[in-house]
Structure 1
């Protein structure tokens, strides 16, 4: 069957199924369980109104449990087990965690993830805030915003391929197609550098890719927040003699600090799950391993489900507090 037709049928069945469920469940609630007639009509209406929200939430709760809660529980159980001959599992307790914590590669991944957490959210948020402020002050700001936001439309793998060409290295007797090496040699460098194989610094070259992508996201959110600042506040500051830097750092930034925190934490969650960029550019070699790549190597290359699941639980434990704080802070901002 044609994929387009198959997709259309899936959409029709999905939407039709949802509409049918809501209609039939509403009829069942009002006509069968709690009919609005007789001496208990008022009480039945109240009961139906109490049950109705849960009836409508039931499909969402079902799918959340099936595709979110169940995989988490199953992964945790796998992290406490190991595979034995015959594709069976044996309970080993926290032995997989002990093995994982004793591996240098795991601590390399933890160190690199910590480095990513320090650098990427800070620079992405700072550049996004700078771009939001500057593009709002120029006539062609909309075009500039479109260009800055454009990397968000590119997949992580696509962006990695682009930047891999930027870092490309050819022998010294050949023309360099990598922009960075071409500039380096033009400025007086002697030999082309293999940028992605330089330990420690190669992590920063990878981080540039994610900063390039996430700056557009930060700019859009922060630009909306800056527009929400009352004009009267800015005008009062101008009348009091404040210069543009004072207006920005002492008036605008404090008023959007909540939005800045949300942007920062959202990018932090993306960083904790980063996989595509490292996988496509270095495959975790030359001391660039991160937690998601470590998990992938254990699960699909070493076929070690126990340690791989344990590393997945570590990633989830690191992401969950930030995610909870982000949601709570967003609700606070909405109030």
Structure 2
């Protein structure tokens, strides 16, 4: 079947199935189970209205159970078992976790993840806040915002390919197509550098890709928060003689701290799960390994599902507290 036709059929079946489900389930509820007639019409209508919201929630709950709850439970099971040659599993307790903790690559991945956690959320939020403040003060601010937000529309793999070209290295006797090497040689560098093979620095070059992507997200959220600041407080500060720097740091920034924290924690969750960029650019080589790529290597290259699942549990344990706190803060803001 032609891919375009297959896509159209998928859309038709998916949308049609959803419409059919909601239509026929409501018909079943109103015409068969709780018909609004007879002596119990009022009670039937009330009961139907109590059940109706669950008809809309049921597909989402089933999908969450199938694609979220079940994988978590299965990952926990795999992390405490070992595959037996020929089929089957045997319980090994915490042996997979012990093996994982004994591998230098795991500690390299954990160290790099913490380095990403320190650098990426801080710079993404700072650049996003700076862009939000500056674009609100210029005439063509909306165009600038569109350009800054544009990387958010690019997949992580696509962004990795773009930046890999930026870091590209050609032999000395050839023209450099990598922007970074071209700049390096223009300012007196002796020979092109293999930027992605330089330990520690290569991690910063990878982080630049995610910062470039997430700055647009931070800018949009923080720009909305800045626009929500009452003009009276800003005008009062200006009347009192405050300069633009004082207005920003002493009037605006304190009022949007909750939003800054939400943006920070959201980017932190993205960082903890980062995989595509590292996989596409270095594949974890040259001391750039991260937890998600380590998990992928163990599960799908080494075929060690036990240790791979154990590393997945580590990622989940790191993400869950931040996610719960983020949801709590968002709900607190809505009250």
Q: Structure 2 length as normaliser, TM-score?
A: 0.95
Distance 2:136 2:102 in 1: 51
Greater CA drift, 70-79 or 21-30: 21-30
- Please report how far the alpha carbon of residue 267 of structure 1 lies from its aligned counterpart in structure 2 after TM superposition: 0.8
Distance 2:158 2:17 in 1: 36
Equivalence for 2:241: 241
> Is residue 51 from structure 1 mapped to residue 51 from structure 2 by the alignment?
yes
Query: Over residues 214-270 of structure 1, what are the superposed CA-to-partner deviations in whole Å (9 max), with x where a residue is unaligned?
Result: 111111111111111122222222122211111111111111112111111111111
Equivalence for 2:227: 227
Query: Over residues 46-105 of structure 1, what are the superposed CA-to-partner deviations in whole Å (9 max), with x where a residue is unaligned?
Result: 222222212221111111111111111111111111111113222211111111111111
Equivalence for 1:94: 94
Distance 2:296 2:167 in 1: 25
Aligned length: 335
- Please report how far the alpha carbon of residue 174 of structure 1 lies from its aligned counterpart in structure 2 after TM superposition: 3.2
Equivalence for 1:180: 180
Distance 1:332 1:167 in 2: 44
Equivalence for 2:118: 118
- Please report how far the alpha carbon of residue 19 of structure 1 lies from its aligned counterpart in structure 2 after TM superposition: 2.0
SS at match of 1:37: coil
- Please report how far the alpha carbon of residue 152 of structure 1 lies from its aligned counterpart in structure 2 after TM superposition: 1.5
- Please report how far the alpha carbon of residue 139 of structure 1 lies from its aligned counterpart in structure 2 after TM superposition: 1.1
- Please report how far the alpha carbon of residue 116 of structure 1 lies from its aligned counterpart in structure 2 after TM superposition: 0.1
Greater CA drift, 39-48 or 205-214: 39-48
Distance 1:278 1:56 in 2: 39
> Is residue 154 from structure 1 mapped to residue 154 from structure 2 by the alignment?
yes
Query: Over residues 261-294 of structure 1, what are the superposed CA-to-partner deviations in whole Å (9 max), with x where a residue is unaligned?
Result: 1111111111111111111111111110000110
**Divergent runs of 4+, >4 A:** none
Equivalence for 1:164: 164
Equivalence for 1:317: 317
Greater CA drift, 81-90 or 123-132: 81-90
Greater CA drift, 290-299 or 26-35: 26-35
- Please report how far the alpha carbon of residue 312 of structure 1 lies from its aligned counterpart in structure 2 after TM superposition: 1.0
SS at match of 2:76: helix
Greater CA drift, 117-126 or 30-39: 30-39
Distance 1:248 1:180 in 2: 34
Distance 1:104 1:216 in 2: 35
Equivalence for 1:41: 41
Greater CA drift, 105-114 or 87-96: 87-96
Distance 1:149 1:47 in 2: 47
- Please report how far the alpha carbon of residue 35 of structure 1 lies from its aligned counterpart in structure 2 after TM superposition: 2.9
SS at match of 1:138: coil
Equivalence for 2:83: 83
SS at match of 2:274: coil
- Please report how far the alpha carbon of residue 188 of structure 1 lies from its aligned counterpart in structure 2 after TM superposition: 2.2
- Please report how far the alpha carbon of residue 175 of structure 1 lies from its aligned counterpart in structure 2 after TM superposition: 2.8
Distance 1:174 1:8 in 2: 47
Distance 1:20 1:153 in 2: 33
Query: Over residues 123-163 of structure 1, what are the superposed CA-to-partner deviations in whole Å (9 max), with x where a residue is unaligned?
Result: 00000000010011011112211221121222212221221
Equivalence for 1:327: 327
Q: Classify 1:7/1:175 alpha carbon distance in 2 versus 1 (closer, same or farther; 3 Å).
A: closer
SS at match of 1:82: strand
- Please report how far the alpha carbon of residue 198 of structure 1 lies from its aligned counterpart in structure 2 after TM superposition: 1.4
SS at match of 1:27: helix
The two structures, once aligned, show a CA RMSD in angstroms of 1.6
> Is residue 143 from structure 1 mapped to residue 127 from structure 2 by the alignment?
no
Greater CA drift, 5-14 or 118-127: 5-14
- Is there any run of 5+ residues in structure 2 with no aligned partner, and where? none
Distance 1:63 1:165 in 2: 39
- Please report how far the alpha carbon of residue 311 of structure 1 lies from its aligned counterpart in structure 2 after TM superposition: 0.8
